[in-house]
Structure 1
Amino acid sequence: MQRIILYLIFMTGALSAKAQVQGQVIKVLTYNIHHAENMNGKLDIQGIATVILATNPDLVALQEVDSATLRIGKSDILRELADATGMYIYFGKAMDFDGGGYGNGVLSRYPIQSAYTLALPSKGKEGEPRSAAIVTVQLPGDSLLRFASAHLDHTEDPADRLSQVQLILQQLHRSPVPLVIAGDFNALPPSKEIVQLKAHFTDATEKLGPTWPSDKPTQKLDYILLSGKGRWHVSTAAVVEETIASDHRPVIAELMLK
Protein backbone atom coordinates (compact mmCIF):
# COMPACT_ATOMS: atom_id res chain seq x y z
CA MET A 1 0.00 0.00 0.00
CA GLN A 2 3.05 2.30 0.05
CA ARG A 3 2.48 3.08 -3.61
CA ILE A 4 -1.11 4.13 -2.87
CA ILE A 5 0.23 6.59 -0.27
CA LEU A 6 2.57 8.05 -2.89
CA TYR A 7 -0.39 8.37 -5.23
CA LEU A 8 -2.33 10.35 -2.61
CA ILE A 9 0.57 12.76 -2.25
CA PHE A 10 0.55 13.20 -6.05
CA MET A 11 -3.18 13.95 -6.08
CA THR A 12 -2.82 16.52 -3.28
CA GLY A 13 -0.36 18.45 -5.44
CA ALA A 14 -3.15 19.21 -7.92
CA LEU A 15 -5.03 21.55 -5.55
CA SER A 16 -3.64 24.78 -7.00
CA ALA A 17 -4.70 23.81 -10.53
CA LYS A 18 -8.14 22.77 -9.31
CA ALA A 19 -8.71 26.14 -7.68
CA GLN A 20 -8.54 27.82 -11.09
CA VAL A 21 -11.76 26.10 -12.25
CA GLN A 22 -15.10 26.55 -10.52
CA GLY A 23 -17.57 23.69 -10.27
CA GLN A 24 -18.45 20.39 -8.61
CA VAL A 25 -15.41 18.24 -7.86
CA ILE A 26 -16.04 14.53 -8.55
CA LYS A 27 -13.46 11.81 -8.04
CA VAL A 28 -14.08 8.66 -10.12
CA LEU A 29 -12.42 5.26 -9.74
CA THR A 30 -12.74 2.36 -12.17
CA TYR A 31 -11.53 -1.09 -11.16
CA ASN A 32 -11.83 -4.58 -12.61
CA ILE A 33 -11.70 -6.51 -9.33
CA HIS A 34 -11.41 -10.09 -10.71
CA HIS A 35 -14.27 -11.24 -8.38
CA ALA A 36 -12.04 -10.13 -5.47
CA GLU A 37 -9.48 -12.86 -6.17
CA ASN A 38 -6.06 -11.33 -5.67
CA MET A 39 -2.83 -12.07 -7.50
CA ASN A 40 -2.00 -14.73 -4.92
CA GLY A 41 -5.19 -16.63 -5.83
CA LYS A 42 -6.91 -15.73 -2.54
CA LEU A 43 -10.35 -14.21 -2.01
CA ASP A 44 -9.65 -10.76 -0.55
CA ILE A 45 -12.65 -8.44 -0.51
CA GLN A 46 -10.93 -6.38 2.18
CA GLY A 47 -8.04 -5.78 -0.22
CA ILE A 48 -10.45 -4.16 -2.69
CA ALA A 49 -12.04 -2.15 0.12
CA THR A 50 -8.60 -0.92 1.20
CA VAL A 51 -7.89 0.39 -2.31
CA ILE A 52 -11.22 2.24 -2.37
CA LEU A 53 -10.73 3.72 1.08
CA ALA A 54 -7.16 4.81 0.28
CA THR A 55 -8.12 6.57 -2.96
CA ASN A 56 -11.33 8.07 -1.50
CA PRO A 57 -13.47 8.29 -4.67
CA ASP A 58 -16.99 9.66 -4.94
CA LEU A 59 -18.04 7.16 -7.61
CA VAL A 60 -16.64 3.70 -8.29
CA ALA A 61 -17.18 1.56 -11.40
CA LEU A 62 -16.42 -2.11 -10.67
CA GLN A 63 -16.21 -4.93 -13.17
CA GLU A 64 -16.10 -8.72 -12.69
CA VAL A 65 -18.25 -8.53 -9.58
CA ASP A 66 -19.65 -11.75 -8.08
CA SER A 67 -22.81 -11.82 -6.02
CA ALA A 68 -23.42 -14.91 -3.85
CA THR A 69 -21.50 -17.29 -6.13
CA LEU A 70 -20.02 -20.52 -4.85
CA ARG A 71 -16.50 -19.54 -5.88
CA ILE A 72 -16.55 -16.69 -3.34
CA GLY A 73 -18.33 -18.69 -0.65
CA LYS A 74 -21.73 -17.07 -1.35
CA SER A 75 -20.40 -13.68 -0.22
CA ASP A 76 -21.98 -10.46 -1.46
CA ILE A 77 -19.00 -8.41 -2.63
CA LEU A 78 -20.89 -5.16 -3.14
CA ARG A 79 -22.67 -5.38 0.21
CA GLU A 80 -19.36 -5.97 1.99
CA LEU A 81 -17.80 -3.02 0.16
CA ALA A 82 -20.79 -0.87 1.11
CA ASP A 83 -20.33 -1.85 4.75
CA ALA A 84 -16.62 -1.00 4.56
CA THR A 85 -16.98 2.33 2.74
CA GLY A 86 -20.44 3.64 3.69
CA MET A 87 -21.33 4.09 0.01
CA TYR A 88 -24.57 3.41 -1.87
CA ILE A 89 -24.44 0.45 -4.26
CA TYR A 90 -26.02 -0.96 -7.39
CA PHE A 91 -25.35 -4.36 -8.97
CA GLY A 92 -25.90 -4.82 -12.70
CA LYS A 93 -26.01 -8.55 -13.32
CA ALA A 94 -24.71 -9.70 -16.70
CA MET A 95 -25.44 -13.40 -16.17
CA ASP A 96 -26.28 -16.13 -13.70
CA PHE A 97 -23.10 -17.87 -12.61
CA ASP A 98 -22.07 -20.56 -10.11
CA GLY A 99 -25.19 -20.33 -7.98
CA GLY A 100 -25.30 -16.53 -7.97
CA GLY A 101 -24.73 -13.58 -10.28
CA TYR A 102 -21.83 -11.99 -12.15
CA GLY A 103 -21.62 -8.51 -13.63
CA ASN A 104 -20.76 -4.91 -12.83
CA GLY A 105 -21.14 -2.77 -9.75
CA VAL A 106 -21.40 0.88 -8.79
CA LEU A 107 -20.52 2.47 -5.47
CA SER A 108 -21.58 6.07 -4.89
CA ARG A 109 -21.20 8.62 -2.12
CA TYR A 110 -24.20 10.39 -3.65
CA PRO A 111 -27.78 9.10 -3.30
CA ILE A 112 -28.80 6.91 -6.24
CA GLN A 113 -32.04 8.26 -7.72
CA SER A 114 -32.55 5.55 -10.33
CA ALA A 115 -30.65 2.60 -11.80
CA TYR A 116 -30.90 -0.01 -14.51
CA THR A 117 -28.81 -2.64 -16.27
CA LEU A 118 -28.15 -2.41 -20.00
CA ALA A 119 -27.54 -5.84 -21.54
CA LEU A 120 -24.81 -5.64 -24.19
CA PRO A 121 -24.95 -7.80 -27.34
CA SER A 122 -22.83 -10.95 -27.26
CA LYS A 123 -22.95 -13.36 -30.20
CA GLY A 124 -19.41 -14.75 -30.32
CA LYS A 125 -18.99 -18.44 -29.43
CA GLU A 126 -16.16 -17.71 -27.01
CA GLY A 127 -17.75 -14.67 -25.42
CA GLU A 128 -20.04 -14.32 -22.43
CA PRO A 129 -22.95 -12.04 -21.54
CA ARG A 130 -21.84 -8.49 -20.77
CA SER A 131 -23.64 -5.46 -19.36
CA ALA A 132 -23.40 -1.88 -18.18
CA ALA A 133 -24.68 -0.86 -14.75
CA ILE A 134 -26.14 2.64 -15.09
CA VAL A 135 -27.19 4.91 -12.24
CA THR A 136 -28.41 8.47 -11.90
CA VAL A 137 -27.09 10.13 -8.75
CA GLN A 138 -28.02 13.34 -6.99
CA LEU A 139 -25.08 15.69 -6.55
CA PRO A 140 -24.92 18.39 -3.88
CA GLY A 141 -27.24 21.21 -4.91
CA ASP A 142 -29.74 18.72 -6.39
CA SER A 143 -28.15 18.51 -9.85
CA LEU A 144 -28.02 15.06 -11.45
CA LEU A 145 -25.22 12.96 -12.93
CA ARG A 146 -25.40 9.67 -14.81
CA PHE A 147 -22.68 7.14 -14.12
CA ALA A 148 -22.11 3.82 -15.85
CA SER A 149 -19.85 0.86 -15.16
CA ALA A 150 -19.26 -1.22 -18.31
CA HIS A 151 -17.33 -4.36 -19.18
CA LEU A 152 -16.88 -5.14 -22.86
CA ASP A 153 -16.13 -8.47 -24.54
CA HIS A 154 -12.69 -9.93 -23.89
CA THR A 155 -12.15 -12.11 -26.97
CA GLU A 156 -9.66 -11.40 -29.76
CA ASP A 157 -12.41 -10.89 -32.35
CA PRO A 158 -13.62 -7.27 -31.97
CA ALA A 159 -17.08 -7.91 -33.48
CA ASP A 160 -18.96 -8.10 -30.17
CA ARG A 161 -17.08 -5.13 -28.71
CA LEU A 162 -17.97 -3.03 -31.75
CA SER A 163 -21.63 -4.00 -31.37
CA GLN A 164 -21.47 -3.21 -27.67
CA VAL A 165 -19.93 0.19 -28.38
CA GLN A 166 -22.68 0.98 -30.88
CA LEU A 167 -25.39 0.19 -28.33
CA ILE A 168 -23.64 2.28 -25.68
CA LEU A 169 -23.48 5.21 -28.08
CA GLN A 170 -27.15 4.81 -29.01
CA GLN A 171 -28.23 4.66 -25.38
CA LEU A 172 -25.89 7.03 -23.59
CA HIS A 173 -23.92 9.60 -25.54
CA ARG A 174 -26.89 11.97 -25.96
CA SER A 175 -27.75 11.85 -22.27
CA PRO A 176 -29.66 15.00 -21.25
CA VAL A 177 -27.59 15.15 -18.05
CA PRO A 178 -23.79 14.91 -17.77
CA LEU A 179 -22.53 11.35 -17.97
CA VAL A 180 -19.43 9.42 -16.95
CA ILE A 181 -18.90 5.91 -18.33
CA ALA A 182 -16.00 3.94 -16.92
CA GLY A 183 -14.78 0.39 -17.08
CA ASP A 184 -12.74 -2.36 -18.63
CA PHE A 185 -13.26 -2.02 -22.37
CA ASN A 186 -10.79 -4.78 -23.30
CA ALA A 187 -9.47 -2.67 -26.18
CA LEU A 188 -6.27 -0.74 -26.79
CA PRO A 189 -6.32 3.03 -27.50
CA PRO A 190 -5.75 2.68 -31.29
CA SER A 191 -8.56 0.12 -31.71
CA LYS A 192 -11.74 0.88 -33.64
CA GLU A 193 -13.77 0.45 -30.47
CA ILE A 194 -11.92 3.16 -28.55
CA VAL A 195 -11.68 5.48 -31.56
CA GLN A 196 -15.47 5.29 -31.97
CA LEU A 197 -16.07 5.98 -28.29
CA LYS A 198 -13.67 8.93 -28.27
CA ALA A 199 -15.49 10.47 -31.24
CA HIS A 200 -18.37 11.12 -28.82
CA PHE A 201 -16.80 11.09 -25.35
CA THR A 202 -13.84 12.90 -23.79
CA ASP A 203 -11.24 10.44 -22.51
CA ALA A 204 -10.14 11.53 -19.03
CA THR A 205 -7.48 8.80 -19.11
CA GLU A 206 -6.02 9.70 -22.51
CA LYS A 207 -2.51 10.36 -21.20
CA LEU A 208 -2.31 7.30 -18.95
CA GLY A 209 -0.30 4.16 -19.50
CA PRO A 210 -1.14 0.44 -19.28
CA THR A 211 -3.40 -1.07 -16.63
CA TRP A 212 -3.13 -4.85 -17.18
CA PRO A 213 -1.74 -7.15 -15.89
CA SER A 214 -1.36 -5.45 -12.54
CA ASP A 215 2.08 -6.82 -11.63
CA LYS A 216 3.76 -5.70 -14.88
CA PRO A 217 1.16 -3.89 -17.01
CA THR A 218 1.61 -3.86 -20.77
CA GLN A 219 -1.90 -3.03 -22.06
CA LYS A 220 -4.26 -0.14 -21.42
CA LEU A 221 -7.74 -1.65 -21.11
CA ASP A 222 -9.43 0.58 -18.50
CA TYR A 223 -10.94 3.99 -19.25
CA ILE A 224 -12.99 6.87 -17.84
CA LEU A 225 -15.02 8.69 -20.52
CA LEU A 226 -17.06 11.90 -20.19
CA SER A 227 -20.15 13.06 -22.08
CA GLY A 228 -21.29 16.65 -22.16
CA LYS A 229 -18.68 18.63 -24.07
CA GLY A 230 -17.66 21.85 -22.38
CA ARG A 231 -18.99 20.66 -19.01
CA TRP A 232 -15.85 18.88 -17.77
CA HIS A 233 -12.37 19.78 -16.66
CA VAL A 234 -9.96 16.90 -15.91
CA SER A 235 -7.92 18.03 -12.90
CA THR A 236 -5.85 14.86 -12.49
CA ALA A 237 -5.82 11.26 -13.67
CA ALA A 238 -3.62 8.35 -12.62
CA VAL A 239 -3.13 4.61 -12.77
CA VAL A 240 -2.88 3.52 -9.14
CA GLU A 241 0.18 1.32 -8.64
CA GLU A 242 -1.64 -1.46 -6.79
CA THR A 243 -0.18 -4.83 -7.83
CA ILE A 244 -1.82 -7.42 -5.57
CA ALA A 245 -5.56 -6.85 -5.00
CA SER A 246 -6.64 -7.68 -8.60
CA ASP A 247 -5.17 -8.56 -11.99
CA HIS A 248 -6.02 -5.02 -13.20
CA ARG A 249 -4.70 -1.79 -11.75
CA PRO A 250 -7.34 0.74 -10.68
CA VAL A 251 -7.63 4.04 -12.56
CA ILE A 252 -8.74 7.25 -10.91
CA ALA A 253 -9.57 10.74 -12.18
CA GLU A 254 -10.47 13.91 -10.35
CA LEU A 255 -12.96 15.82 -12.45
CA MET A 256 -14.61 19.23 -12.32
CA LEU A 257 -18.20 19.43 -13.54
CA LYS A 258 -18.75 23.04 -14.59
Structure 2
Amino acid sequence: MRLRIVTLNVWNRQGDPRRAGLINRELCKLAPDLVSFQEVVQSPERSQLDELIHDTGLHGTHQAGILRSAPPYADRFGGNAVATRWPHHVEEVLDLRMSDANDIPWCSLAVTVPLPGAGDVLFIATTTSWRLSAEAARERQAVALTDLDARHRRTLPTIIAGDFNATPDAASIRYLRGLQSLGGRSVRYHDAWEIAGEGQGHTWSVDNPNAKAEIGAIVRQPHHRRRVDYVFVGSWDAHPKAICEVAAASLAFDRPVDGIWLSDHFGVVVDVEIRAIS
Protein backbone atom coordinates (compact mmCIF):
# COMPACT_ATOMS: atom_id res chain seq x y z
CA MET A 1 0.00 0.00 0.00
CA ARG A 2 1.33 3.45 -0.89
CA LEU A 3 1.26 6.05 1.90
CA ARG A 4 2.20 9.72 1.84
CA ILE A 5 3.51 11.21 5.09
CA VAL A 6 3.99 14.92 5.76
CA THR A 7 5.57 16.68 8.72
CA LEU A 8 5.52 20.45 9.26
CA ASN A 9 6.25 22.80 12.12
CA VAL A 10 3.58 25.44 11.44
CA TRP A 11 5.20 28.17 13.61
CA ASN A 12 2.15 28.74 15.82
CA ARG A 13 0.47 32.08 14.96
CA GLN A 14 3.50 34.18 14.24
CA GLY A 15 3.99 35.90 10.92
CA ASP A 16 1.38 36.66 8.30
CA PRO A 17 -2.15 35.68 9.44
CA ARG A 18 -2.86 34.20 6.01
CA ARG A 19 -0.30 31.42 6.50
CA ALA A 20 -2.73 28.80 7.86
CA GLY A 21 -5.00 29.15 4.86
CA LEU A 22 -2.08 28.89 2.46
CA ILE A 23 -0.67 25.84 4.26
CA ASN A 24 -4.12 24.31 3.91
CA ARG A 25 -4.10 25.05 0.17
CA GLU A 26 -0.72 23.38 -0.29
CA LEU A 27 -1.77 20.44 1.89
CA CYS A 28 -4.76 19.85 -0.37
CA LYS A 29 -2.36 19.61 -3.31
CA LEU A 30 -0.07 17.16 -1.51
CA ALA A 31 -2.99 14.92 -0.46
CA PRO A 32 -1.15 13.20 2.43
CA ASP A 33 -2.39 10.18 4.35
CA LEU A 34 -0.54 10.86 7.63
CA VAL A 35 0.43 14.32 8.88
CA SER A 36 2.48 15.37 11.90
CA PHE A 37 1.98 19.03 12.83
CA GLN A 38 4.04 20.90 15.42
CA GLU A 39 3.40 24.24 17.13
CA VAL A 40 -0.34 24.22 16.43
CA VAL A 41 -2.22 26.68 18.64
CA GLN A 42 -5.58 25.51 19.94
CA SER A 43 -8.00 27.55 22.05
CA PRO A 44 -11.76 27.70 22.69
CA GLU A 45 -11.89 30.73 20.41
CA ARG A 46 -9.93 29.38 17.48
CA SER A 47 -8.79 25.99 16.20
CA GLN A 48 -5.69 26.32 14.08
CA LEU A 49 -5.83 22.58 13.39
CA ASP A 50 -9.28 22.94 11.82
CA GLU A 51 -7.95 25.71 9.60
CA LEU A 52 -5.00 23.60 8.51
CA ILE A 53 -7.03 20.52 7.52
CA HIS A 54 -10.22 22.22 6.25
CA ASP A 55 -11.65 20.35 3.23
CA THR A 56 -8.69 17.92 3.11
CA GLY A 57 -10.74 14.91 4.24
CA LEU A 58 -8.26 14.35 7.06
CA HIS A 59 -9.22 13.42 10.63
CA GLY A 60 -7.37 15.56 13.17
CA THR A 61 -6.46 15.29 16.84
CA HIS A 62 -4.68 17.98 18.83
CA GLN A 63 -2.94 17.19 22.11
CA ALA A 64 -5.20 19.78 23.79
CA GLY A 65 -8.15 17.54 23.09
CA ILE A 66 -6.59 14.75 25.18
CA LEU A 67 -4.71 16.48 27.98
CA ARG A 68 -6.52 17.48 31.16
CA SER A 69 -4.56 20.72 31.40
CA ALA A 70 -2.43 22.75 29.02
CA PRO A 71 1.35 22.78 29.53
CA PRO A 72 2.97 26.17 30.20
CA TYR A 73 3.57 28.26 27.05
CA ALA A 74 1.02 26.27 25.02
CA ASP A 75 -1.08 29.39 24.49
CA ARG A 76 1.86 30.97 22.68
CA PHE A 77 3.76 28.09 21.13
CA GLY A 78 0.94 25.58 20.64
CA GLY A 79 1.18 21.82 20.71
CA ASN A 80 1.45 18.77 18.49
CA ALA A 81 -1.34 17.42 16.32
CA VAL A 82 -1.92 14.53 13.93
CA ALA A 83 -4.13 14.28 10.88
CA THR A 84 -4.89 11.01 9.12
CA ARG A 85 -6.77 9.94 6.00
CA TRP A 86 -8.67 7.32 7.99
CA PRO A 87 -10.09 7.73 11.52
CA HIS A 88 -7.42 6.99 14.12
CA HIS A 89 -7.36 5.87 17.73
CA VAL A 90 -5.21 7.74 20.24
CA GLU A 91 -3.01 5.29 22.14
CA GLU A 92 -1.05 7.72 24.31
CA VAL A 93 -0.03 11.36 24.74
CA LEU A 94 3.53 11.58 26.07
CA ASP A 95 4.75 14.68 27.90
CA LEU A 96 8.48 15.00 27.21
CA ARG A 97 9.19 17.86 29.61
CA MET A 98 12.19 17.23 31.85
CA SER A 99 13.94 19.11 34.62
CA ASP A 100 16.48 20.49 32.14
CA ALA A 101 13.91 20.95 29.35
CA ASN A 102 10.71 22.17 30.97
CA ASP A 103 9.88 24.89 28.45
CA ILE A 104 8.46 22.62 25.74
CA PRO A 105 4.66 22.52 25.59
CA TRP A 106 4.67 19.96 22.76
CA CYS A 107 3.53 16.47 23.74
CA SER A 108 4.08 13.45 21.51
CA LEU A 109 0.95 11.82 20.11
CA ALA A 110 0.85 8.09 19.35
CA VAL A 111 -2.15 7.02 17.27
CA THR A 112 -3.14 3.78 15.60
CA VAL A 113 -4.40 4.13 12.03
CA PRO A 114 -6.23 1.28 10.27
CA LEU A 115 -4.96 1.07 6.69
CA PRO A 116 -7.58 -0.49 4.39
CA GLY A 117 -6.53 -3.99 3.43
CA ALA A 118 -3.11 -3.63 5.09
CA GLY A 119 -3.62 -3.58 8.86
CA ASP A 120 -2.97 -1.10 11.65
CA VAL A 121 0.04 1.22 11.74
CA LEU A 122 1.33 3.17 14.74
CA PHE A 123 1.97 6.82 13.85
CA ILE A 124 3.83 9.07 16.30
CA ALA A 125 3.96 12.87 15.97
CA THR A 126 6.65 14.48 18.07
CA THR A 127 8.83 17.47 18.93
CA THR A 128 11.90 17.43 21.14
CA SER A 129 13.70 20.18 23.06
CA TRP A 130 14.55 23.20 20.97
CA ARG A 131 17.53 24.76 22.73
CA LEU A 132 20.85 24.28 20.95
CA SER A 133 22.46 23.11 24.19
CA ALA A 134 19.71 20.60 25.08
CA GLU A 135 21.10 17.50 23.36
CA ALA A 136 21.31 15.62 26.66
CA ALA A 137 17.57 16.13 27.09
CA ARG A 138 16.95 15.17 23.45
CA GLU A 139 18.85 11.94 24.01
CA ARG A 140 16.50 10.98 26.85
CA GLN A 141 13.50 12.10 24.85
CA ALA A 142 14.57 9.93 21.91
CA VAL A 143 14.77 6.91 24.20
CA ALA A 144 11.32 7.78 25.61
CA LEU A 145 9.93 7.90 22.07
CA THR A 146 11.25 4.44 21.29
CA ASP A 147 9.72 3.19 24.54
CA LEU A 148 6.43 4.78 23.42
CA ASP A 149 6.70 2.84 20.18
CA ALA A 150 7.49 -0.40 22.01
CA ARG A 151 4.37 -0.03 24.17
CA HIS A 152 2.00 0.29 21.21
CA ARG A 153 3.65 -0.94 18.01
CA ARG A 154 1.79 -3.11 15.55
CA THR A 155 2.87 -5.64 12.94
CA LEU A 156 3.29 -2.90 10.33
CA PRO A 157 6.39 -0.73 10.80
CA THR A 158 5.91 2.28 13.07
CA ILE A 159 6.19 5.73 11.50
CA ILE A 160 7.58 8.62 13.58
CA ALA A 161 7.54 12.15 12.20
CA GLY A 162 8.24 15.58 13.57
CA ASP A 163 10.66 18.36 14.48
CA PHE A 164 13.57 16.79 16.39
CA ASN A 165 15.60 20.02 16.71
CA ALA A 166 18.77 18.01 16.03
CA THR A 167 20.95 17.38 13.01
CA PRO A 168 21.67 13.87 11.65
CA ASP A 169 25.02 13.71 13.44
CA ALA A 170 23.49 14.42 16.88
CA ALA A 171 23.47 11.55 19.37
CA SER A 172 19.66 11.53 19.58
CA ILE A 173 19.32 11.07 15.82
CA ARG A 174 22.23 8.64 15.57
CA TYR A 175 20.48 6.55 18.23
CA LEU A 176 17.26 6.47 16.22
CA ARG A 177 19.22 5.57 13.07
CA GLY A 178 20.88 2.64 14.85
CA LEU A 179 24.35 4.18 14.69
CA GLN A 180 25.00 4.37 18.43
CA SER A 181 23.55 3.30 21.74
CA LEU A 182 22.25 5.51 24.53
CA GLY A 183 22.38 4.33 28.13
CA GLY A 184 23.00 0.76 27.01
CA ARG A 185 19.97 0.85 24.68
CA SER A 186 19.92 0.54 20.91
CA VAL A 187 17.23 0.60 18.22
CA ARG A 188 17.05 0.92 14.45
CA TYR A 189 14.76 3.16 12.38
CA HIS A 190 15.21 4.19 8.76
CA ASP A 191 15.67 7.91 8.14
CA ALA A 192 13.52 8.51 5.05
CA TRP A 193 15.61 11.42 3.80
CA GLU A 194 18.81 9.41 4.05
CA ILE A 195 17.25 6.76 1.82
CA ALA A 196 15.43 8.81 -0.80
CA GLY A 197 16.09 12.53 -0.33
CA GLU A 198 18.25 14.61 -2.63
CA GLY A 199 20.70 17.20 -1.33
CA GLN A 200 21.11 18.31 2.26
CA GLY A 201 17.38 18.59 3.04
CA HIS A 202 17.81 21.61 5.30
CA THR A 203 14.51 22.47 6.97
CA TRP A 204 15.56 25.34 9.27
CA SER A 205 17.59 27.79 7.26
CA VAL A 206 18.56 31.43 6.80
CA ASP A 207 17.22 30.98 3.26
CA ASN A 208 13.74 31.20 4.83
CA PRO A 209 12.97 34.82 5.80
CA ASN A 210 10.68 33.63 8.60
CA ALA A 211 13.57 31.70 10.18
CA LYS A 212 16.37 34.18 9.50
CA ALA A 213 15.59 36.56 12.38
CA GLU A 214 15.16 33.70 14.88
CA ILE A 215 18.39 32.08 13.72
CA GLY A 216 20.07 35.44 14.12
CA ALA A 217 18.80 35.68 17.70
CA ILE A 218 19.49 32.08 18.77
CA VAL A 219 22.39 30.82 16.66
CA ARG A 220 24.01 34.17 15.80
CA GLN A 221 25.87 32.79 12.81
CA PRO A 222 25.20 34.14 9.30
CA HIS A 223 25.00 31.00 7.17
CA HIS A 224 23.14 28.60 9.44
CA ARG A 225 21.25 25.76 7.76
CA ARG A 226 20.15 22.52 9.44
CA ARG A 227 18.11 19.38 8.76
CA VAL A 228 16.01 18.97 11.90
CA ASP A 229 12.66 17.63 10.62
CA TYR A 230 12.40 13.89 9.98
CA VAL A 231 10.26 10.95 9.01
CA PHE A 232 11.48 7.65 10.50
CA VAL A 233 10.11 4.19 9.72
CA GLY A 234 10.53 1.04 11.78
CA SER A 235 12.97 -1.62 10.62
CA TRP A 236 13.02 -5.40 10.30
CA ASP A 237 14.36 -5.75 13.85
CA ALA A 238 11.05 -4.66 15.38
CA HIS A 239 8.79 -5.65 12.48
CA PRO A 240 9.98 -8.96 11.03
CA LYS A 241 6.63 -9.68 9.37
CA ALA A 242 6.23 -6.39 7.49
CA ILE A 243 8.04 -4.03 5.13
CA CYS A 244 7.99 -0.24 4.79
CA GLU A 245 10.02 0.81 1.75
CA VAL A 246 10.80 4.51 1.34
CA ALA A 247 10.05 5.43 -2.27
CA ALA A 248 10.54 9.22 -2.22
CA ALA A 249 11.44 12.07 0.13
CA SER A 250 11.41 15.78 -0.63
CA LEU A 251 10.94 19.17 0.96
CA ALA A 252 7.51 20.81 1.10
CA PHE A 253 6.28 24.28 2.03
CA ASP A 254 9.77 25.47 1.09
CA ARG A 255 8.78 28.28 -1.28
CA PRO A 256 6.64 31.38 -0.87
CA VAL A 257 3.01 31.19 -1.96
CA ASP A 258 1.48 34.46 -3.13
CA GLY A 259 4.63 36.10 -1.79
CA ILE A 260 4.20 34.61 1.70
CA TRP A 261 6.58 32.11 3.31
CA LEU A 262 4.41 29.50 4.97
CA SER A 263 6.39 28.76 8.16
CA ASP A 264 9.79 29.19 9.77
CA HIS A 265 10.48 25.54 8.93
CA PHE A 266 10.31 23.74 5.64
CA GLY A 267 8.26 20.55 5.74
CA VAL A 268 9.12 17.04 4.60
CA VAL A 269 6.94 14.80 2.41
CA VAL A 270 7.71 11.09 2.18
CA ASP A 271 6.11 8.33 0.12
CA VAL A 272 6.37 4.76 1.35
CA GLU A 273 5.16 1.31 0.33
CA ILE A 274 3.99 -0.54 3.41
CA ARG A 275 2.74 -4.11 3.67
CA ALA A 276 2.68 -7.17 5.85
CA ILE A 277 4.45 -10.30 4.68
CA SER A 278 3.81 -13.92 5.56
- Alignment TM-score > 0.5, same fold: yes
2:93 match: secondary structure: strand
Does the CA-based 8 Å contact 1:173-1:227 persist in structure 2? Answer: no
Q: Which residue of 2 aligns with 1:242?
A: 255
- 1:200-236 residue CA offsets vs partner (Å, 9 max, x unmatched): 2111111452011362771101000001426111111
The corresponding residue for 1:77 is 48
Confirm or deny that 1:48 pairs with 2:17. Answer: no
Shift of 1:79: 2.0
Of the three residues 203, 208, 211, the one matched with 1:211 is: 203
Cα distance per residue 1:95-132 (max 9 Å; x no partner): 25475882101111112133431111322267324321
Matched with 2:166 is 187
- Structure 2 CA distance for aligned equivalents of residues 197 and 143 of structure 1: 24
Number of residue pairs aligned between Structure 1 and Structure 2: 229
Of 173-182 and 220-229, deviating more is 173-182
Report the aligned-residue RMSD.
2.4
* Counterpart pick for 2:35 among 41, 53, 60: 60
Q: State the AA in 1 paired with 2:255.
A: E
Q: Quick check: 2:101–2:137 contact (8 Å CA) kept in 1?
A: no
- Extract unaligned runs of 5+ from structure 2: 65-69, 179-187, 210-223, 237-241
3-state SS of 1:210 partner: coil
Identity %: 26
Q: Which secondary structure state, in structure 1, belongs to the residue aligned with residue 249 of structure 2? A: strand
The reply to whether residue 120 of structure 1 matches residue 96 of structure 2 is: yes
8 A contact 2:74–2:105 mirrored in 1: no
SS of the residue corresponding to residue 138 of structure 2 reads helix
The residue number in structure 1 matching 2:149 is 172
TM-score by length of 2: 0.75
The residue type equivalent to 1:176 in the other structure is R
Q: Would the aligned equivalents of 1:121 and 1:163 in 2 still touch at CA under 8 Å?
A: no
Indicate whether 1:255 and 2:272 are aligned: yes
Are residue 35 (structure 1) and residue 6 (structure 2) matched?
no
Question: For 1:34, what is the secondary structure of its paired residue?
Answer: coil
**Structure 2 equivalent of residue 8 of structure 1:** none
Contact 2:12 / 2:76 at 8 angstroms: preserved in 1? Answer: no
Give the letter for the 1:218 counterpart.
R
1:185–1:125 distance in 2 versus 1, CA, 3 Å: closer
| C-alpha distance in structure 2 between counterparts of 1:111 and 1:98, whole Å | 25
